Structure 1
C-alpha cells in the first residue's frame, strides 16, 4: 500500500531541454519537477504527514487534526506506508489530485483558524466543496458560509446546485433564499446538470411558498400593534382615510381604510414582493424610489410628517416580519401540491 488517495495526472515532459525545470499536467498547468513546501502554517518541520498536491507543493500537516475531522484521512493514515511514500526526512507523504490553491483553502477550513479563506471565484469555492465532500469532513465549519457569502449573492443558482450535489443542505437553503431576489429562474448554469428535476422542483415550490408567506394576511392596513403600539398615521389620519358612514370613532374603528397615497405605494410594493418574495426586496431601487418620492405627492401635513418620522420605522418592522416568515421555510417540503403563481 502506498497511502495514495488518487494517482495524480502523469506529467508530460517538455521537449525543450533548455527550458525551465517543469512539466505540464493533463490540464496544461505547469508542474515543477522539484517539490517545494507550502507557506505558513503548512511548513512546520515537526509535522507528522505530508500532503503533496498535483502541482508538487508539499503541505506539512498534523495527522491528529485531519483524522479528527475526516474518517477518510483516518483510513489513509492507518495504511502501511512504503519507503517510496516518504519524503526526505521520513515523513509519510500522501499524493492528492487537488492543486495547491484548492488544498490550501481546504486545509484552512480544516484547521482551527479564526478567519475564513478567500475565494477569488465560485469555481475555486466549488473545488473546495468537492474536496470537503470527498474527504467526508464530519463538521460544519462556521468559516465555510462566510467565505461563500459573496458567491451566494452573485451566483445563487450555481451555489444551490453545487450544495445539493455535495450534500451541504444548510448551504443549499441559504442559496435558495438568495434566489428569491431573482425574478427569473430560467437562466442556465452548468451546475444544474448535477441535480435532479425533483431538486429543481423543490426550489420552485420553495419560491411559491415564499410568495404565499409574504402576501398572506399582508394588506395595506397591516399594523403590528405588538411591535408598534401607536397605529401608523396613514391608517388613522382623519384627512386622508375614509370611513364607513356608520363609523363614529375613526381612531379606534375597524374600517379597512388607508390613505390613498399609501394604498398606491402598497400596490407597488406587493408587485415587487410577488416577483422577489424576500425582505431584501425592501431595499430594491423600485421600492426605495417609491418611498422617497411619496412626500411630493402628499398634501396632508399629518401624512407628510409621518413619511419622514414613521415610514422608516414601518419599513424596518415590515422587513423583520418578512424575514421571520421566510426563515420558517425549508426545502424539505412535500411536492404533491401543484404549483400556483
Structure 2
C-alpha cells in the first residue's frame, strides 16, 4: 500500500503536528495556530502527547478528507481563502467548524451560505436549522415560498439525514399560513368598492350606484359577468335593499387563477405574472367597453394587490424548529381579523357624511 502524500498547501518544514486525512494525505501544521483557532484542538494539545518517530512531529488521523481540510485550514492561516463555489464544499467545511468549535469561521461561512439562497433555498434552510441560525432559517423560509413542490422525495437534500422532522413541519405550516394570508387579500372582493383609492363605487341617497370612478370590470355591463357578486349597501335605507355588482368574467377568471396559484406559491409577485395577466388582457380586449382601459387598470390593480399581499405576508410568523421564537408586535394580530377590521373601517369611511 502506498504511503501518504503531503499536501502542497501545507508542507511546512517547521511543522510540529501532522493531520492525516481519511484519504491518506498529510497536512504539516502548527499546534499554536490550530490551538488559537479551535478550543477543541487547544484542549487536545494540552494533554500529554506521544512522541513522533525520531524528530518527526506527531501524526493525528482525522476523519475529514483532504478536500475538506484544504478548504478549512486556510481560514486558520494567513493565506488566501477558498471561494467554496459549491454548497457541498461549504457544508462540509461548516460541519467541521461546528465540530471543532471554530466559531469565527462558522460565522463567515454562514454569511457565505446566503449566496446560495436563490439556487439552493431548501439546503440553506436545512443547514441553518442544523446549526440553529435563526436569521438564516427565516431568510430561507421566505425564499422557499416560491418553491412548488417544496422538495422531491426521490431526491432529497443530504441534510435530511440529520434534520429533525419538526424542521419540515414548521416550514410546511409557514407556507400554509402565508398562502392563507395571500389568498385572503385576493379573495377580499369587498375591497373593490373602496379599497383602492382613487377607485371607488359610490351610492346616492336614492340608492343609485355610481361606478364612474370604479375599476372597468365593475363599471362595464357590456360583456359577460363572472360568478362573483359584490354587495353595495343603500345608506338611505339603513344599508338595506342594496344592489350587487358583478365583476366581468375575464377579471373573475384572472382572480381565480391567481388565488389558486397563491396556494402553491404565496408570493406577492404572482398577481403581476404575465401568464395570469396576459389571458385577462386578451379576453378584455374583445369587449368594446373593457378593451381600452383593461390593461392599464388591471396592472394598477395587480400592483396595488401585490403591496397588500406583501404587507399581509410580513405579519405571518415563521415558528422556528429550534430555540426561542419571538412574535413580532406587528404580527401578533391574525391576518383574517385584521382584514375584517379594515373592511369595517373602509365601510365607515365610505358612508361618512350620509
TM-score (norm 2): 0.59
Matched position secondary structure for 1:153: coil
Matched position secondary structure for 2:258: helix
CA distance in 2, matches of 1:210, 1:118: 33
Aligned to 2:293: 302
Matched position secondary structure for 2:27: strand
Aligned to 2:344: none
CA distance in 2, matches of 1:36, 1:115: 16
> Which of 259, 264, 275 is 1:275 aligned to?
264
- Deviation, 1:268, is 1.3
Matched position secondary structure for 1:182: coil
Matched position secondary structure for 2:112: helix
Task: Work out whether 1:133 is the aligned partner of 2:110.
Answer: no
> Which of 229, 232, 237 is 1:244 aligned to?
232
CA distance in 2, matches of 1:311, 1:93: 69
CA 1:320–1:70 in 2, change beyond 3 Å: closer, same or farther?
A: farther
Aligned to 2:239: none
Task: Work out whether 1:288 is the aligned partner of 2:274.
Answer: yes
Within 5 Å, which residues of 2 pair with 1:8-23? 13=1, 23=2
TM-score (norm 1): 0.60
CA 1:109–1:220 in 2, change beyond 3 Å: closer, same or farther?
A: farther
CA 1:193–1:305 in 2, change beyond 3 Å: closer, same or farther?
A: closer
CA distance in 1, matches of 2:118, 2:30: 30
Within 5 Å, which residues of 2 pair with 1:82-231? 82-84=50-52, 95-107=61-73, 117-120=83-86, 122-139=87-104, 141-147=107-113, 149-150=115-116, 153-154=119-120, 156=122, 158-180=123-145, 181-183=147-149, 187-188=153-154, 189=156, 191-218=159-186, 219-220=188-189, 230-231=198-199
The one-character-per-residue Cα deviations of 1:14-42 (angstroms, maximum 9, x if unpaired) are: xxxxxxxxx4xxxxxxxx6331331xxx6
CA distance in 2, matches of 1:159, 1:206: 16
CA distance in 1, matches of 2:198, 2:41: 61
- Deviation, 1:187, is 1.7
- What stretches of structure 2 of length at least 5 have no aligned partner? 202-210, 220-230, 237-242, 327-354
Aligned to 1:8: none
CA distance in 2, matches of 1:293, 1:116: 49
- Deviation, 1:135, is 1.3
- What stretches of structure 1 of length at least 5 have no aligned partner? 1-12, 14-22, 24-31, 249-254, 335-341
> Does the 8 A contact of 1:49 with 1:93 survive in 2?
yes
- Deviation, 1:212, is 2.9
- Deviation, 1:72, is 1.7
Q: What is the Cα-based RMSD across aligned positions, in Å?
A: 4.8
Larger Rg, first or second structure (1 or 2):
2
